[in-house]
Structure 1
Amino acid sequence: MTPWLHFGDTDYLIFKAWQASSPAAVAGACIGLFLFCILERCLAAYRRTHELRWRTKTILMSSRVDPSASKEEDTESSRDGPTPTSAREQLVPPFTPSRDIPRGVIQAIQSTFSYALMLTIMTFNGAYIISVILGLGVGEVLFGRIGRK
């Protein structure tokens, strides 16, 4: 590994078996990295859309009215707005396996992608770095608006 910015075909890409040993192999690795970065941004958009969906479900579930409450209390609380029973309920939604387990899996996959890209950057290979930057930029253009309000 050359510890400064360089262009060449002697660097290992993540694993020892992934060494681009020719200019064509470096070009292939750059195309693969470019597509991998677009996939990473797509995964980030997927996570954002699900976060919005989960947040909306949580808000709807927490704003349900207790059917045993009297009508007078309902009109009084609707004038003042929703009042949470405690500050903890407002800040921390309850653990829901159908929401929190997929969230953890998506985060683990996204972290794996990010660390793989970081290791790629740490090769100091200019072609790989340019491919990662361009791929993340194109991926953000394609998927950056998805899942944002």
Structure 2
Amino acid sequence: MESSYTQQMRQHDHHHEPSDAASPMPRCSDGGQHGMNMYFHFSDLATILFSFWKTDSALSILAACVVVFIVAVLYELLKFYREWLRRNEDKRLEGGAHRRRRRHSRRSRRRHRSSSMTVDSDSVGEVSLPMSTASGVVPNDGRNKVRLPWLAPMHMYQTLLHMVQVTISFMLMLVFMTFNVWLCMAVVLGAGLGYFLFFVREESITEHCN
């Protein structure tokens, strides 16, 4: 017959036995511990960006890789489109600046010829300069408008495209951080194909998440 001391010790151990609710790691239905893999793996089980986008078979992971591949190609297309817009805007501004300089040169030559011809017959050698030039103050004729560069339509459009580019780049980075080898290959191959197609004439060396 067990002593009272032994019975008390057994009751004490029973009350302090850890339960499933107090377990530090949640458990899946299959008995294994659930958690994000922090190493590269070839599994077809993945949760991509959103809780509803899950893969549980080879067909589903293949479809997810195709979607990620297309997004990576479109990301490179977006970068190329922004570079194309910037080059065209620079050419337009340079062309406008050249035209303004030519017009200003022609006006300066005309003013110089007119001022050299207006010589007073009584005072030889004195040239009558225009009031605006003599006083050093050039009147504002209303054609020279002061514009804020932040309100330029092209700058606002580029800002919107930059926000879209940053969003897509970080989403691709998060896909890569799933450590699923198939998804990582889809990101790399999509970015590589996009660069190969769109940056054939002008190389662009930038970080992928910029």
TM-score, with structure 2 as normaliser = 0.56
Aligned residue number for residue 66 of structure 2: 31
Aligned residue number for residue 113 of structure 1: 168
Aligned residue for 1:16, secondary structure, equals: coil
Bigger relative CO (Cα 8 Å, ≥ 6 apart): 1
2-side partners of 1:146 and 1:52: how far apart? Answer: 13
1-side partners of 2:41 and 2:83: how far apart? Answer: 36
Higher helix share: 1
Matched, 1:126 2:166: no
- Deviation for aligned residue 1:69: 4.3
Matched, 1:140 2:171: no
The letter of the residue matching 1:43 is L
Structure 1, 109-118 or 64-73: larger mean CA deviation: 64-73
Unaligned runs of 5+ in 1: 74-92
Unaligned runs of 5+ in 2: 1-35, 112-147, 204-210
The letter of the residue matching 1:7 is F
Aligned residue number for residue 152 of structure 2: 97
2-side partners of 1:21 and 1:72: how far apart? Answer: 80
Aligned residue for 2:53, secondary structure, equals: strand
Structure 1, 117-126 or 54-63: larger mean CA deviation: 54-63
Aligned residue number for residue 8 of structure 1: 43
Identity of aligned residues (%): 26
- Deviation for aligned residue 1:9: 2.3
Aligned residue number for residue 77 of structure 1: none
2-side partners of 1:146 and 1:39: how far apart? Answer: 18
The letter of the residue matching 1:47 is R
How do 1:33-52 and structure 2 match up within 5 A?
Answer: 33-52=68-87
Aligned residue for 2:52, secondary structure, equals: strand
2-side partners of 1:61 and 1:104: how far apart? Answer: 23
Aligned residue for 2:37, secondary structure, equals: coil
1-side partners of 2:55 and 2:70: how far apart? Answer: 17
Aligned residue number for residue 90 of structure 1: none
Judge conservation of contact 1:33–1:132 (CA < 8 Å) in 2.
yes
2-side partners of 1:48 and 1:120: how far apart? Answer: 26
- Give the number of aligned pairs: 130
Judge conservation of contact 2:44–2:56 (CA < 8 Å) in 1.
yes
CA deviation string 1:22-74 (max 9, x = no partner): 1100000011111111111111111110010111122223332254841289x
2-side partners of 1:136 and 1:56: how far apart? Answer: 29
- Deviation for aligned residue 1:94: 3.5
Larger Cα-atom Rg: 2
* CA RMSD in angstroms, aligned pairs only: 2.4
1-side partners of 2:167 and 2:176: how far apart? Answer: 14
